[in-house]
Structure 1
Amino acid sequence: MSRLGRIAAETRAAWHGFTRRRTAVFFTFFFPVIIILIFGALVQTDPTGGGLFAEPPGYYVAGYLAVVVLFTPLSRVGHEVARHREGNRFEKLATTPLTRPEWLLAQTLVNVVVVGLASLLIGGLVLLVTDAAFEFSALLVPYLVLGVALFCGFGAVLGRLADSQDGVVAASNGVALPLLFLSETFVPPSMLPGWFVPLMSLSPLTYFARGVRAATFPGWDPARSGLVGSGPYLDLAVLAALAVGFFAAGAYALPRTD
């Protein structure tokens, strides 16, 4: 079987494995819906009154997308690696021609489809329940693909380091929650201490959120972030480099045997 054939077969198997777990499917799409309903429809924003949600509604669309780009691949791939380890499946995979990068690529392709569908749902809900001003951009596609690849690699590393499936859940939440609120998603840099703002550039999610916002939020000035980088293309380039690095680290971390 060719390399493309191996990846396609593993992708189909991973997709069917995901769709068979109805609880996972439900919460994958239910979680971003709840986030939008809470922050977009109930809490709402107040651009003139200050406070946590002091930016225009369109500012937070990048944050909504960051939720699924961060949580979905990080938790799903981490859990899948831990499940394979506990079931000695990597030992069985070692007897097949399928390589570790090919296995991780197949998982990434499945997550790209899942996150893409969730992003379409988010876009529809934002238009339906909020008055956010945003425009669809072709740059959304590479941003979503690279973001998913990055956090799939990160999830593979967590799955290797954690000692159980429960450990992966705890580790992924412990990583994802701080990143979500300290990466220029929902909390603007202007609300954080000045000494902390440069540290936001250490988070890969910052480049996703900042680049998506610059590409989809009309009139947004990236210079307001106070971070290195001044446009969606530069942020995309940085995200691409990080995605390659994290994917390579994740593929290397996958065990050959258990």
Structure 2
Amino acid sequence: MSRLSRVRSEARAAYTSFVRRRTAVFFTFFFPVLLIAIFAGLISTGGGGTGLFSQPPGYYVPAYLAVVVLFTPLSRVSSEVARHREGARFEKLATTPLEKWEWLFAQTLVNVALIAAASVLLLLALLAAGASFALSPWFVVFVPAVSVVFCGVGAVLGSLADSQDGAIAASNGVAIPLLFLSDTFLSPAALPDWFAPVMNLSPLTYFARGVRAATYSGATPGWPGSVTAEFAVLLALAVAAFAVGAALIPWTE
């Protein structure tokens, strides 16, 4: 069996596993839209200031996308790795030609495809809610890149957790702080001055600043200073996260 065939077969299995889980489908496709429906009235005020939902709706486009690109790969990949560990599935896969980076690559492909579809649905919902933003081609590269980052991080969490429940708890423990402390819903001006450099440690920050600068009039990227540079950092983090995640998968525990 060729490498392409192995990856395609594993990706098909991953997709089938996803669609069979109604809860996963709901939180991937409909939960972010539900958030928009809940908060549309709040963010539409755009009263100014630095607090939560104080900016115009278009400002929060990357924040809502962050819900999808952050929670979906972290929870799905971490739980999938932990589930394979508990069921000794990696040991069985290790007896086949499939390599562990191929397994993670297949999982990542499925997640990127699902996240891309969910992002399109979310953008349409934002437009329907009255958000004003540009449909920039940067969406096409930023969304997959940040998805790969958190697929890699999810693989790390699933490899280190002691159970599937532990993996899900760890992914939520990572995702929730990042969602609000990565220049998404809260701007740096709303946080202490000393915390601004800490934001640069989050991959989600480069996603949020890059997408906002590319799609929202008046927004400017932070460090390192341009949309292209933000994407370059994110791409480097994606390669590193995938490599570390693949290396830590316990193929033969």
Q: How does the TM-score come out when normalised to structure 2?
A: 0.96
Aligned length: 252
Q: Residue 233 in 1 paired to residue 228 in 2?
A: yes
Name the structure 2 match of 1:43. 42
1:1-258 equivalences under 5 Å are: 1-39=1-39, 41-50=40-49, 51-129=51-129, 131-222=130-221, 227-258=222-253
Question: Structure 2: which 5+ residue stretches go unaligned?
Answer: none
Quote the Cα distance in structure 1 between the aligned partners of 2:48 and 2:199.
25
| 2:75 maps to amino acid | S
Task: Report the AA paired with residue 231 of structure 1.
Answer: S
Q: CA deviation at 1:27?
A: 2.2
Kindly state the Cα deviation for residue 244 of structure 1 after the two structures are TM-superposed. Answer: 0.5
Q: CA deviation at 1:132?
A: 1.5
User: Does the CA-based 8 Å contact 2:48-2:55 persist in structure 1?
Assistant: no
Report deviation, 1:21. Answer: 1.5
Any conservation in 1 of the 2:82–2:164 contact (CA below 8 Å)? Answer: yes
Q: How big is the shift at 1:79?
A: 0.4
Given that 2:43 and 2:54 are in contact with CA atoms closer than 8 Å, whether structure 1 keeps it comes out as no
Name the amino acid aligned to 1:235. E
**Structure 2 SS opposite 1:119:** helix
Post-superposition Cα deviations, 1:155-183, rounded to whole Å, max 9, x if no partner, equal 00000111111101110111000000000
- Distance in 2 of aligned mates of 1:27 and 1:47: 27
Preserved CA contact (<8 Å) 2:43 2:56: no
1:63-94 CA-partner distances (Å, limit 9, x unpaired): 01111000000000000001000110000000
Aligned counterparts of 2:248 and 2:47: Cα–Cα separation in 1: 48
Query: Structure 1 residue 48: deviation in Å?
Result: 3.4
Structure 1 gaps of 5+ residues are none
Partners of 1:69 and 1:210 lie apart in 2 by: 14
Distance in structure 2 (CA, Å) of the matches to 1:49 and 1:148: 31
CA distance in 2, matches of 1:48, 1:203: 28
Query: Counterparts of 1:147 and 1:166 in 2: how far apart (Å)?
Result: 24
- The residue type equivalent to 1:249 in the other structure is V
**Does the 8 Å CA contact 2:68/2:115 hold for their aligned counterparts?**
yes
